[in-house]
Amino acid sequence: MKGMSAATTQPLTVEEFNRLDLAQDRNWELHDGEVVEMPFPLYVHRLIQVRMVALLGPLFPQAQVVVECPFQIGDSDQRSADVAVVSKDRSEAASQKGILEGAPEMVVEVLSPSNSVLELKRYRRLCLSSGTALFLVIDPEDHTVDVFTQGAKGESYTVGDSVPLVLLDVNSAMPVAQIFQGIT
């Protein structure tokens, strides 16, 4: 039996990723050194992103709330959070550099058909181990918000609940019903 040769590829660094000539009409991220094409989001996904900015902005006046927030962790991850809350200082530094270094203080992800449970779990762990204090997962189908914090198990909130938001000197809550009102 003849030996088979397998093509091996090394994980890319952020520097190598940024030099790639990728199609400009698509969204690309670097996940643990692997180039990943991100699918085009559904309309409801965008509506929830806009709603989250409208709800979080007034709650965090001393921070920046960003849709599709680009951030970099280490040398092998360059991603974009659906919605992020970032301190003013870090936001100003990111504006100068072109990307946020480290994970945002809060990451909000809206579930979509392209999310796999395993990949979302890896992403959440990466963010929480890299500076994210609150990681929210919004499910437009069952109208829930799962909230994860560093070193704690996730808590699930439904339409009758309010999500506690303790971050950046803010201690507030956001009614889950407000996220979905008139959208889904």
Number of helices followed by number of strands (H, E) in the chain: 5, 11
Can you tell me which residue has the tokens 């990943």? 36
Phi and psi at 142, nearest 5°, equal -105, 10
Residue 29, pLDDT score: 76
CB 45 within 8 A of CB 141: no
Phi and psi at 29, nearest 5°, equal -135, 165
State the sign of the Cα–Cα–Cα–Cα dihedral 89, 90, 91, 94: positive
State the sign of the Cα–Cα–Cα–Cα dihedral 82, 87, 93, 96: positive
What ranges do the domains of the chain cover? 14-180
CATH architecture assigned to 14-180: Alpha-Beta Complex (3.90)
Question: Model's pTM, two decimal places?
Answer: 0.86
Residue 177, pLDDT score: 98
Taking only the tens place, the pLDDT of each residue in 64-113 is 999 999 999 999 888 999 999 999 999 999 999 999 999 999 999 999 88
Closest CA to 165 of 67, 99, 83: 83
Q: State the Cα–Cα distance between residues 21 and 50, nearest whole angstrom.
A: 30
